[in-house]
Amino acid sequence: MVELTKRQEERAKRLHKEAMVIDTHCDTLMRLLPQRGPRKARKLGERSEEGHIDLPRLIEGGVTCQTFAMYTGNRPIVPDATLNALKMVDVFYESVKRNDEMVAVTKAEEILNAKKQGKVAGMLSIEGAEPLMGDIGLLRVFYRLGVRMLSFAWNFRTPFADGIGAKRSESKLPELGIQALEEMVNLGMVFDVSHLCDSNFWDVADVMDGPFIASHSNCRALSDHPRNLTDDMLKALAEKGGVTGMNYAPSFVVPRDKINAGYKPTIEDLVNHIDHIVKVVGINHVGLGSDFDGIGQPPTGLEDVSKVPNITRVLVKRGYSDEDIKKILGGNFLRVFKQVLR
Ligand SMILES: [Zn+2]
């Protein structure tokens, strides 16, 4: 693991405590629903030996705001996606109700208040627009339920966009996608390009005036995975004031052939993506988007959310300034939330 001097350790500790730590993607909600098979549903308020996120570990990891994604699109047509999403909305609010150290948020101001009160903020998002059933009315319904971030597709095609797995997807966003995007801008919702196919990414970059984000995508220059962003995509995202959240999935961090050859990614490999983004577009466009509870084994040093302070330690080791570390940990995403969420 990373070795720091005593002074560096103290500085890392202080910075992590002071910083707004924001993570824009996890798949924890589905682990809180009744599980198929022998596995038991986890409880957000109880520390588990399984998975990556629960409230005790969020507190230990010094996380200020965790976005909880509702993911339902595990096949091309999901008839029960809306129902499943609603069940996740329910389990989210029930979990918040049962745990005093947590608060549901829909605005940047509420995240700042949570930090002041020493609570963990939780924000709802939808990963893949399957629950909307091609209906902009349902977009508004989910907005009213507190959803503030949305990606139009997971890996398949939805009525709003093509995901990275959609065949013959070298096209622009469909008309409905453009309409939904405009409605998101009107409502004040964060548009998330993670999982979009490349051509749809470029259409979003073309259509959007304000910032959009990639909630959990790394750099293709370091790991050539279709879920990661090319340098040109990073530049387009940065030009609109957007931010990309670093994903801890092994094959997003280092190339798959390296993993297949037995290499185990480390937290240092992950921070290489942060360095790369800073080099390509500057300090204002990178954040955290773990994908915890949606990935296999995370990099060594980042085994679960309680280990997030290790990212700060590596950033200190690499010589980032206090201000820059705070931007990476959450300041950049907070800036976008301030701008977009009303
Ligand atoms: Zn994902």
As beta bridge partners, residue 139 has none
pLDDT for 167 equals 75
pLDDT for 304 equals 98
Per-residue pLDDT tens digits for 131-144: 999 999 999 999 99
Sign of the alpha-carbon torsion through 252, 254, 259, 265: negative
Is the pLDDT assigned to residue 89 strictly greater than 90? yes
pLDDT for 281 equals 98
Whether residue 154 contacts residue 127, with contact meaning beta carbons closer than 8 Å, is answered with yes
CA distances from 334 to 81, 209, 328 (A): 30, 18, 10
pLDDT for 259 equals 96
Per-residue pLDDT tens digits for 156-206: 999 999 999 887 777 899 999 999 999 999 999 999 999 999 999 999 999
Is the pLDDT assigned to residue 39 strictly greater than 90? no
Q: How far is the CA of 117 from the centre of ligand 1 (A)?
A: 31
pLDDT for 169 equals 73
Q: How far is the CA of 229 from the centre of ligand 1 (A)?
A: 14
Q: What percent of the chain has pLDDT over 70?
A: 100
Q: How far is the CA of 218 from the centre of ligand 1 (A)?
A: 12
**Euclidean distance between CA atoms 294 and 337, whole angstroms:** 24
**DSSP letter string, 249-304:** -HHHHS-HHHHHTT---BHHHHHHHHHHHHHHH-GGGEEE---BTSSSSPPBT-SS
Q: How far is the CA of 7 from the centre of ligand 1 (A)?
A: 37
- Tokens representing 89 are 């909305």
Is the pLDDT assigned to residue 295 strictly greater than 80? yes
Q: How far is the CA of 215 from the centre of ligand 1 (A)?
A: 8
Q: How large is the C-alpha radius of gyration of the chain? A: 19
Average pLDDT, the chain: 96
**Euclidean distance between CA atoms 232 and 18, whole angstroms:** 33
pLDDT for 302 equals 98
**DSSP letter string, 95-160:** HHHH-TTEEE-SSHHHHHHHHHHT-EEEEEEEESSGGGTT-HHHHHHHHHTTEEEEES-SSSB-SS
Q: Could you tell me the pLDDT band of residue 37, with boundaries at 50, 70 and 90?
A: confident
Can you tell me the mean pLDDT for 243-266? 97
Q: What is the chain's length?
A: 342
Q: How far is the CA of 143 from the centre of ligand 1 (A)?
A: 20
**Euclidean distance between CA atoms 54 and 316, whole angstroms:** 26
pLDDT for 50 equals 94
pTM: 0.97
Q: Could you tell me the pLDDT band of residue 77, with boundaries at 50, 70 and 90?
A: confident
Q: How far is the CA of 20 from the centre of ligand 1 (A)?
A: 23
pLDDT for 19 equals 98
Q: 3-class SS at 200?
A: helix
Q: How far is the CA of 116 from the centre of ligand 1 (A)?
A: 30
Q: How far is the CA of 282 from the centre of ligand 1 (A)?
A: 25
Is the pLDDT assigned to residue 298 strictly greater than 90? yes
Of 305, 267, 319, 308, the residue nearest 13 (C-alpha): 308
Q: How far is the CA of 158 from the centre of ligand 1 (A)?
A: 15
Can you tell me the mean pLDDT for 312-328? 98
Is the pLDDT assigned to residue 1 strictly greater than 80? no
Q: How far is the CA of 340 from the centre of ligand 1 (A)?
A: 22
Is the pLDDT assigned to residue 36 strictly greater than 90? no
Is the pLDDT assigned to residue 73 strictly greater than 90? no
Q: How far is the CA of 128 from the centre of ligand 1 (A)?
A: 9
Q: How far is the CA of 322 from the centre of ligand 1 (A)?
A: 30
Q: How far is the CA of 149 from the centre of ligand 1 (A)?
A: 13
Region label for 2, one of left (φ > 0), alpha (ψ between -120 and 50) or beta (otherwise): beta
Q: How far is the CA of 314 from the centre of ligand 1 (A)?
A: 25
Q: How far is the CA of 291 from the centre of ligand 1 (A)?
A: 7
pLDDT for 2 equals 87
Q: Could you tell me the pLDDT band of residue 114, with boundaries at 50, 70 and 90?
A: very high
Q: How far is the CA of 195 from the centre of ligand 1 (A)?
A: 7
